[in-house]
Amino acid sequence: MRLRPVPWYLIAVAIVAATSTLALLLLSSWFIAASALAGLSAGVVLFNYILPAAAIRLLAISRIASGYAYNYFGHADMLSRLGRIRSHLYDRVMAESQSSQLRAHELENLDHGTQALANQALAVKLPHLSFITLALALLICCWVLVPQLLALFVLSMALCVLLLAWHKNTMQTRIVALRQNTAEYRTSLEHQLRSASLWSLSENHGGLKTHQQNWAQAWIARRSSEYRAERYLFALAILLLLIAVSLLPQPLLGSPLLLLFPLLLLSMPDWLGAVVRAQGAAAESEVSALHLQREPQVNTAPPIIRSNAITLQAIKNTSVKKLSLQQFSWQRASKEGEAINAEFTAGDLVLVQGDSGSGKTSLLMAMAGLIAHSGQLHIQPGNSRLHYCDQHPHILADTLRHNLLIAAPTACDQQLQCALDFACLSHLHNALDQWLGDQGRILSGGEAKRIGLARAWLCETNIWLLDEPFEAIDRSTREQLSQHLNQARQERIILLVSHRKELSLHHNKVITLGEFL
């Protein structure tokens, strides 16, 4: 869509604000210096204090009034643009899809991108326009008052333009890198949150930590580019000042107007700071415009099926085809597990055995991405997800309902009761609104462990990593739970760590101490 031009009154207010700021800075600095020189002359030089003082007050009032007007009209125009842009994009998305839901990261990108475009006039166009106006005004003043410095002034403006162009190109590269790292970090974080029973259980995010570091480095690189441009601008001002002093003819050294030139150069970071910062906003708006030209990705996931069946949701790919491990091993500090090469298909129920400390839990946590690992883990299809059920699921100090809804926020009571049935917790059907207390103190150890299994059932995952699900559970409940797992494996891959072999659990594969049988 085409953005409307900047209103003329906003342009006028911006020019008045920028001109008043620079004029106030130069006149007040010159007035202070001239007053000091007049005092040193001991009355030899007559100096009229009234006219400069009145002009300074007038400029101050003009600066304050234009500043308030600039903020008011500028933000009003920005909000108006933002509303039109978002309305246009919403209509476009609705016309291209029957769904009204966007993927979360796309929604955030649209929000960020539309803000950058709507802010283009206030943060990009007006600062550049003010810079051009000030440069032309100063060029005319230099040509009339000090023509000997005209060439140096033109050179300084040309160097400033080159610096701004370099800074904009650098910022565009930084912004693209930052957005890419942000997307990767978000994807990794979403995978982490969906794979763990609760994100707070993670001791080490494994691969997530790398994405987090890359994102932080990209953000620091962007901020460093802004600071570097300001430092280069100040260094340029010092260099030009030294050149000006060395090139000035001797007769001009006594001119009072000569005070304005060093003041103008030394204050370059102040009156050019806005246009330097505008380069980042310009790069942001250009990247956002390119992104918004692409079609937003619409979330067309099928809705929840409300039925009496245990299957709670129609997932786009209802079954996983294959999970393969290639030289896969977990890593903890200086310790590393034995490399595993294995392949599992839908319907596999894999029993992971081994002595205490052999790395059974570490293997599942590495597969879920909770700790670092080496080797390769491949899943087909690629949109299949893993769910890790901890030995000791974290129980929120909340109701049973909310402890289940963290796995499926949109689940209804019937679905929650189905999950309780699967976890052999049918006696809690009528306790959904009961307060569980800190760490679920009203629950037994076995009940708390089976809350994790209920969460696994509610999650839209088709690969389950279950860590000691039969501990602290009586024999009859273990047999019943084994039957439920036998049924749940039909369209899933289940890896189960256990110190005991349940006769009623129909596992078809075994991993023992890293050996695949």
Predicted local confidence at residue 517, as pLDDT: 40
- Supply the CATH number for residue 415's domain: 3.40.50.300
Within-domain flag for 305 = no
**Do residues 403 and 461 both lie within one domain?**
yes
**Do residues 143 and 267 both lie within one domain?**
yes
For 180-221, write each residue's pLDDT tens digit: 888 778 777 766 665 544 444 444 445 567 777 888 888 888
**Are 399 and 436 in contact, with CB atoms under 8 Å apart?**
yes
- In whole angstroms, give the CA distance from residue 415 to residue 408: 9
- In whole angstroms, give the CA distance from residue 494 to residue 463: 6
For 100-117, write each residue's pLDDT tens digit: 444 445 555 566 666 666
Predicted local confidence at residue 358, as pLDDT: 77
**Are 326 and 376 in contact, with CB atoms under 8 Å apart?**
yes
Predicted local confidence at residue 207, as pLDDT: 59
pLDDT band at 258 (very low <50, low <70, confident <90, very high): low
DSSP letter for each residue of 183-215? HHHHHHHHHHHHHBS-GGG-S--THHHHHHHHH
- In whole angstroms, give the CA distance from residue 140 to residue 266: 20
Mean pLDDT of 509-513: 81
- Spell out the alpha helix ranges (H) of 97-149: 104-118, 120, 126-145
3-class secondary structure, 279: helix
**Do residues 341 and 436 both lie within one domain?**
yes
Q: 125: domain range?
A: 8-180+211-293
Within-domain flag for 50 = yes
Taking alpha carbons only, the member of 444, 489, 509, 498 closest to residue 470 is 498
Does position 350 have pLDDT exceeding 60, yes or no? yes
Across the chain, mean pLDDT equals: 75
Within-domain flag for 263 = yes
**Do residues 51 and 162 both lie within one domain?**
yes
- Supply the CATH number for residue 284's domain: 1.20.1560.10
For 25-42, write each residue's pLDDT tens digit: 778 877 777 777 666 665
Taking alpha carbons only, the member of 83, 175, 74 closest to residue 122 is 74
Cis peptide before 269 (omega within 30 of 0): no
**Do residues 120 and 269 both lie within one domain?**
yes
Within-domain flag for 187 = no
- In whole angstroms, give the CA distance from residue 111 to residue 116: 9
**Do residues 228 and 343 both lie within one domain?**
no
Name the phi and psi angles at 324, rounded to 5. Answer: -125, 140
Predicted local confidence at residue 43, as pLDDT: 53
Within-domain flag for 458 = yes
Within-domain flag for 313 = no
Final residue belonging to a domain, choices 243, 275, 293:
293
How far is CA 145 from each of CA 141, 157, 257, 258, 464, rounded to the nearest angstrom?
A: 6, 18, 8, 9, 80
Helices and strands in the chain: count of H runs, count of E runs: 15, 10
Within-domain flag for 317 = no
For 291-349, write each residue's pLDDT tens digit: 666 544 444 333 333 333 333 333 333 566 788 888 888 887 778 888 888 888 888 88
DSSP state of 344: E
Question: Which H or E run contains 243?
Answer: helix 207-247
Final residue belonging to a domain, choices 293, 311, 334:
293
**Do residues 289 and 326 both lie within one domain?**
no
**Do residues 262 and 407 both lie within one domain?**
no
Final residue belonging to a domain, choices 278, 293, 308:
293
**Do residues 372 and 424 both lie within one domain?**
yes
How far is CA 217 from each of CA 149, 159, 223, 484, rounded to the nearest angstrom?
A: 43, 29, 10, 47
Torsion angle (degrees, nearest 10) of CA 304, 305, 308, 309:
-100
Could you give the number of structural domains in the chain? 2
Within-domain flag for 314 = no
**Do residues 247 and 385 both lie within one domain?**
no
**Do residues 343 and 456 both lie within one domain?**
yes
Does position 57 have pLDDT exceeding 60, yes or no? yes
On the CB side of 298, CA atoms within 13 Å amount to 15
- In whole angstroms, give the CA distance from residue 500 to residue 483: 16
